[in-house]
């Protein structure tokens, strides 16, 4: 008797046997029950999740000799013929090898003929995205107005490559990746049906590595049956498929979180020496860190078979921010490592950088520390103290201020003519950075010659630099002083009285 691999032997034959696509199955069964059958369907999703199997089951349900039913009987001749792949009216086409316009033209010519024995002529086109643009264009008219006896079922792993004009004419069903729990349950059932002796750890490893594909998982189990003598163990899985055990990732993570550079280098060296594929290692590392982050945040892992107490404890030993930072550094690792000539050195460098994450300051902590140090309050108090001191020491009367400046100048040696000219000057206004003087026209040029001496005296008196401007006036300056806006403002702020 011909040997059938597990994938073919246990291919789902009715909707109840399909694993993990409840949303798709429920919709199709309801449509069949209510006779709401579409003329074209698009099944989109990753590899090995049941797209083609569901297409065949739908073809059987449409053509079952017990009328259109929710679930095929698998006992009538039509159902059996479709199961064997010998049904004339169910045509399966590989889109990758029949992608040209000539093949689609031949299909268009055949659809006009009635089915030979079945109720519907069903065309199942796998990997439909591989059709050429011209082939899709040739198919459009048929999809828009197909004969009543024709049903198209398209399957694809890349729906984005299917033209929108085709998508709009189909009912789309998105198949999802299976969870590890669903795959583990299915594998466990198969081992019992086939009397395969496999421990739980090996099945969990297969479920984790299948990446949501039940077909891949069944293929791996089939290969292990041929390899193992007696019971299939977790070590057999690692040996055959080159899986990297979680103990490697745990040791590496402990080295990173403990900032033990020696351990980090040792782990990477061991991975390279054992001949593990670096991309495989990176993939496992990403999944490992992602799972730790879920455990740290107390979020149930929907793909995991059960809670791993060891990983849960490890995840709680660090902060979620640390795990997020590690995951962030790891995300682009596979892409970046392709562009470096020495992948081992790059990997070691990146892991050592992760060990330095605790050195990076938390910006929120810094902000909190600054806020709690009351830097703003203390700065404000110091400024307030300086202002009070300035108010006490600074003369509120501009005339008194000018007298103090004159005293400073008189204490200097020489420049007697300059000093005599200044005695004739009258202060007009003063601000925080400017002093305005009114002098007779005859003195103006003489004073400008020694203006730097006057500025130096102002700085010595006030403690800071100011600008000095000189104006001339033939009449008294008292009214000019009173009307100056700055003088009015000073009088208002300091509640000053006039002194003449």
The pLDDT, as a whole number, for residue 490 is 63
End-to-end C-alpha distance for the chain, whole angstroms:
128
Residue 409 scores a pLDDT above 70: yes
Which residues touch 219 (CB under 8 Å, ≥6 apart)?
5, 6, 7
Residue 31 scores a pLDDT above 80: yes
The pLDDT, as a whole number, for residue 454 is 80
CA atoms of 57 and 74, how far apart (whole Å): 9
Tell me what percent of the residues of the chain surpass a pLDDT of 90: 41
Q: Quote the tokens at residue 66.
A: 């017990």
The pLDDT, as a whole number, for residue 408 is 81
Cβ density class 444-467: b for 16+ within 10 Å, e for less: beebeebeebbeebbeebbeeeee
Report pLDDT digits (tens) over 290-345: 999 999 998 876 656 566 788 889 999 999 989 999 998 888 887 788 777 888 88
467-472 sheet: strands from edge to edge:
426-430, 434-439, 467-472
CA atoms of 308 and 295, how far apart (whole Å): 9
Residue 459 scores a pLDDT above 90: no
CA distances 142 to 35, 145, 289, 448, Å, are: 22, 5, 50, 99
pTM of the model: 0.65
CA atoms of 357 and 279, how far apart (whole Å): 23
Average pLDDT over every residue of 167-179? 94
User: Cβ distance 323 to 314 under 8 Å?
Assistant: no
Contacts 24+ apart (CB under 8 A), 230-237: 230/197, 231/197, 231/198, 231/199, 232/196, 232/197, 232/198, 232/199, 232/202, 233/199, 233/201, 233/202, 234/199, 234/201, 234/202, 234/204, 234/205, 236/202, 237/202, 237/205, 237/206, 237/209
Report pLDDT digits (tens) over 350-380: 899 898 886 554 555 555 655 665 544 555 5
The pLDDT, as a whole number, for residue 367 is 57
The pLDDT, as a whole number, for residue 209 is 85
Task: Tell me the sheet residues that pair with 171.
Answer: 41
Domain architecture of the chain: domains with CATH: 6-174 (3.40.50.300), 180-241 (1.10.8.60), 246-359 (1.20.272.10), 394-494 (3.30.300.180)
């Amino acid at each position: 008797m011909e040997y059938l691999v597990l994938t073919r032997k246990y291919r789902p034959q009715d909707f109840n046997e399909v694993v993990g696509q409840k949303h798709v199955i429920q919709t199709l069964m309801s449509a069949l029950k209510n006779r709401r059958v579409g003329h074209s369907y698009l099944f989109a999703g990753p590899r090995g999740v049941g797209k083609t199997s569901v297409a065949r089951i739908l073809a059987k349900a449409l053509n079952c000799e017990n009328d259109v039913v929710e679930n095929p009987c698998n006992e009538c001749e039509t159902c059996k013929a479709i199961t064997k792949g010998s049904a004339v009216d169910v045509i399966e086409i590989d889109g990758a090898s029949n992608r040209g316009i000539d093949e689609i033209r031949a299909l268009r010519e055949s659809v006009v003929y009635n089915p030979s024995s079945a109720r519907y002529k069903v065309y199942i086109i796998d990997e439909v995205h591989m059709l050429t643009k011209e082939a899709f264009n040739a198919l459009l008219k048929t999809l828009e107005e197909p004969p009543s006896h024709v049903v198209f079922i398209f399957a694809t792993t890349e729906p984005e490559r299917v033209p929108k004009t085709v998508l709009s004419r189909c009912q789309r069903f998105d198949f999802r990746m299976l969870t590890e729990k669903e795959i583990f349950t299915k594998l466990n059932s198969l081992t019992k049906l086939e009397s395969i002796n496999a421990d739980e750890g090996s099945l969990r490893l297969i479920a984790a590595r299948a990446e949501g594909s039940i077909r891949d998982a069944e293929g791996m189990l089939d290969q292990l049956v041929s390899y193992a003598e007696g019971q299939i163990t977790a070590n057999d899985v690692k040996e055959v498929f080159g899986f990297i055990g979680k103990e490697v990732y745990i040791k590496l993570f402990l080295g990173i979180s403990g900032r033990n550079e020696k351990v980090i280098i040792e782990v990477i060296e061991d991975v390279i020496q054992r001949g593990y594929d670096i991309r495989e290692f990176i993939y496992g590392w990403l999944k490992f860190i992602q799972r730790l982050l879920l455990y740290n945040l107390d979020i149930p892992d929907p793909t995991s078979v059960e809670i791993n107490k060891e990983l849960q404890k490890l995840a709680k030993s660090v902060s979620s921010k640390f795990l997020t930072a590690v995951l962030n550094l790891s995300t682009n690792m596979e892409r970046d490592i392709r562009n470096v000539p020495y992948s081992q050195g790059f990997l070691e460098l990146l892991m050592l950088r992760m060990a330095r994450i605790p050195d990076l300051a938390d910006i929120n902590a810094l902000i909190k520390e600054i806020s709690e140090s009351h830097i703003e309050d203390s700065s404000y108090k110091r400024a307030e103290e300086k202002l009070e001191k300035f108010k006490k020491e600074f003369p509120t009367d501009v005339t008194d201020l000018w007298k103090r400046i004159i005293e400073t100048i008189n204490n200097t040696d020489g420049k007697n003519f300059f000093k005599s000219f200044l005695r004739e000057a009258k202060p007009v206004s003063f601000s925080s950075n400017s002093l305005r003087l009114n002098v007779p026209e005859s003195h103006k040029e003489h004073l400008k010659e020694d203006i730097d001496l006057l500025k130096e005296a102002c700085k010595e008196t006030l403690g800071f630099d100011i600008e000095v401007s000189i104006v001339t006036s033939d009449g008294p300056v008292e009214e000019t002083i009173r009307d100056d806006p700055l003088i009015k403002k000073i009088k208002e702020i300091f509640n000053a009285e006039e002194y003449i």
